[in-house]
Every structure is written in structure tokens, then in C-alpha cells.
Structure 1
Amino acid sequence: MTVNVTPHLNFRGDARTALEFYQSVFGGDLVVTTYADMGNAADPAEADLVVWGQVAAANGFRVMAYDVPASRPWSQGDDPFFVSVRGDDVEEMDAAWKRLAEGAFIVQPFGSAPWAERYGMLKDRFGVTWVLDVLGEQ
């Protein structure tokens, strides 16, 4: 049996833009289904919002997202989760870091750490906190 865990991010109107950005960072295929596509847009103003979306890359990166409708309460809160991306290729992770850092608040610059060949933490322009690392030899 194989089990995969995929972060599912909730937004209020930014899901498509966030998914497009994550695709530009990590590559892969983007699939977006809107409330209109599903035929369940209770509010016509929300018809083009994302009811389900995903970026899936050949290297194993996966993230899903949707726009919480206005009829449901939603709060991003303070650091409710971190999305951790662990790779084994320093160059690949460094390139992802540089793209993800555009417009981000850097919590910990991407560099060497006592427990990892590379480690960094940032809060992206959508308010999502990301941890990227390359463990190296332990």
C-alpha cells in the first residue's frame, strides 16, 4: 500500500493565483475546477473561484487549494501550518527557494544549518509559511 500526503491550502479568492505561482516555482501540471464548472456557484460573484485545484510535478511535489466561499467562515490565523518541501538536490531546491522568495517575508534565509545541508523558512506573498530543506549526510 502506498500513502501520499498532499497539503490542501484554503484561500479566500486567491487560490488560482497562488496555484499558478506555485506551478511557476516547482513546475508540474496545474488543474483548476471552478464553482461554475461544478454547477454549484451559490453566489454568481464566486463562479470563477476555485472549488478544487492542484499542482502536481513529476518530482513528487503536490499541493492542492481552494477558495472558501463567503458563506463559510474562514480565517487564515497565525501560523496554522507550515508547508515543508524536502529535496535531495541542492541546485533544484535553491532554484525553488529563489522563485518562492519573490515578494515573500524571509524568516530564515536559505543556507546551511546544523541539521541540514540547506534550510530556509519564508512566508510567501499569500501568507503561507514554507520550509525548504536538503538534509544531506546525517
Structure 2
Amino acid sequence: MTRLWSDAMRTNPYLIFNGNCREAFEFYAGLFGGRIEAISTFAGTPAESYVPPDWKDKILHVELRYGDNVLFGSDAGDQNFQKAQGFGIAIVLDDIAEGERLFNGLAEGGTVKMPFGATFWAKRFGMVDDRFGTPWMVNCGQPE
């Protein structure tokens, strides 16, 4: 069988926002201790002609790196935006204190779907839709 991708293939979430992508990614960079490595707006690109004048400074593409992770995003606009559903971005780590910090940060202004607590499969687990509507799951360690 011929392989189309190398062993270095990665899967990275690409988040779509309705005009607040910059705010979301600045928040994520601070919370995750990452850095925005690439950011471009609609202005000055061929895509500029497809957005209203007040959207020229909205995000066409952004790339955030934190640890070995990469998160991508963009603004879609009213007619192309759909609320995220049917998935969650899983954060998996061993450090319960760090997991709680991340969960609480994501929960600020958001909606907790499952409180951060012990489960049969993890020392701590919680689900939250952050204030931007992005669904997250924080999973910490295996139970004893």
C-alpha cells in the first residue's frame, strides 16, 4: 500500500469564529503559555473581496503553538459560521493542578457541561464550552 503521508503526520484542530478569532487566540495563547506564530487578516488578500468592509481586519488564518501542539483558526462571517458541535478538543495531562487551572480558565465566561472531578477513567475530568463556544475536555491521569 502506498502511503500519502509521512510518519510525521499530525492532526490539528482548526477553529472557526464569528468575528472574535483574534480575541480567542490571544486568550488561548495566554492560558496555554503559547505564542501566535502566524496571523493574517482578509485585508490585502484575494479573500478581501468576499467579506464586507468591516471584516477586512478579521482573521483569515491564525496559528498558535503551545508545547508540541498547534491550533489553527479563522473568522467565517455570519453566512458561513456554524456553532461548534459534535466534537470536543481533548487536553490530556497528568498534572491535576494544571488541569484544574486550564479547566477553570476555559470555564470563565463559558458553560460547564461536566464539572472537573474524579471519574472511573481519570483522576480528574471535565467538559466545558469556553466563552467563544469552543468545546473542551480536560482529562488528567489514570485513577489509582
Residue 76 of structure 1 pairs with residue 83 of structure 2: yes
Partner of 1:132: 138
- Conserved 8 A contact 2:21-2:73: yes
Change (3 A) 1:61 1:97: farther
Aligned to 1:118: 124
Q: Are residues 1:51 and 2:57 paired? A: no
CA 57–45 in structure 1, closer or farther in 2 if over 3 Å, else same: same
* Cα contact 1:82–1:131 (8 A) shared by 2: yes
Residue in structure 2 matching 1:66, options 74, 83, 88: 74
TM-score between both structures, scaled by the size of structure 2: 0.83
Residue in structure 1 matched with residue 47 of structure 2 by the alignment: 40
2: distance between equivalents of 1:99 and 1:87? 16
User: Aligned-residue CA RMSD in angstroms?
Assistant: 1.9
Offset of residue 118 of structure 1 = 1.1
Contact 1:28/1:57, CA 8 A, preserved across alignment: yes
Question: Following superposition, which runs of at least 4 residues in structure 1 exceed 6 angstroms of deviation?
Answer: none
Contact 1:26 1:61 in 2 (8 A): no
Amino acid corresponding to residue 98 of structure 2 in structure 1: E
> 5+ unaligned residues in a row in structure 1: which ranges?
none
2: CA distance, partners of 1:35 / 1:133: 36
1:15 equivalent in alignment to 2:21? yes
Compute the displacement of 1:86 (Å): 0.9
Deviations 1:83-134 (A, max 9, x none): 1111122222222112111111111111111100110001111111110101
Q: CA deviation at 1:61?
A: 3.2
2:43 match: secondary structure: helix
| Structure of larger gyration radius | 2
Total equivalences in the alignment: 135
Structure 2: runs of 5 or more not aligned: 1-6
Distance across 1 between alignment mates of 2:25 and 2:56: 17
Q: Partners of 2:81 and 2:34 in 1: how far apart?
A: 28
